[in-house]
Structure 1
Amino acid sequence: MGQKKRFLLRLDEKLYEILEKWSADELRSVNAQIEYLLAEAAKKAGRWKEDKSKSEEE
């Protein structure tokens, strides 16, 4: 995936609590859970294009 971009994210306390429980259920950190959910949403919306060279290797 390459280098990670850092940025500040402010969340509603209730939403953070939901993400915290959800991430624990899936054995991820909250940060990893947010990244996973955003990537899945981007793929579902057709905005995440797989790298052709990477998919050819698999």
Structure 2
Amino acid sequence: MSKKAYPLRISSDVLAAMQRWSDDELRSLNAQIEYVLRDALVKSGRVKLVQKVVVEVQATDESDDPATKEQTAPK
């Protein structure tokens, strides 16, 4: 996703409130503004919520798996 700079005119009271909110959420002010805008877009039905799920796949060699060794070990 590419990001584009956009100058924003905002009242000092709203900006201060957003700054406090972003501090509470441990986000940057810019990230908080983007979060609020994205949330409003989703709630209004203007964009679909797309969740990115990162799945880490770890390749396992069956010969290194202790459970497999127990099953295949000679008795």
- TM category (shorter chain) comes to 0.7 to 0.9
Say which one has the larger Rg.
2
What TM-score results when the alignment is normalised by the length of structure 2?
A: 0.64
Structure 1 residue 24 corresponds to structure 2 residue 23: yes
Once the two structures are TM-superposed, the CA of residue 10 in structure 1 deviates from its matched residue by 1.0
Structure with more of its chain in helix, by fraction: 1
CA-atom RMSD, angstroms? 2.1
Indicate the residue corresponding to 2:41 in structure 1. Answer: 42
**Identity across the alignment (%):** 43
CA distance in 2, matches of 1:48, 1:32: 18
Larger relative contact order (CA 8 Å, sep ≥ 6): 1
- Deviating above 3 A after TM superposition, structure 1's stretches of 4 or more consecutive aligned residues are none
Segments of 5+ residues of structure 2 without an aligned counterpart are 56-75
Segments of 5+ residues of structure 1 without an aligned counterpart are none
Structure 1 residue 10 corresponds to structure 2 residue 9: yes
What TM-score results when the alignment is normalised by the length of structure 1?
A: 0.81
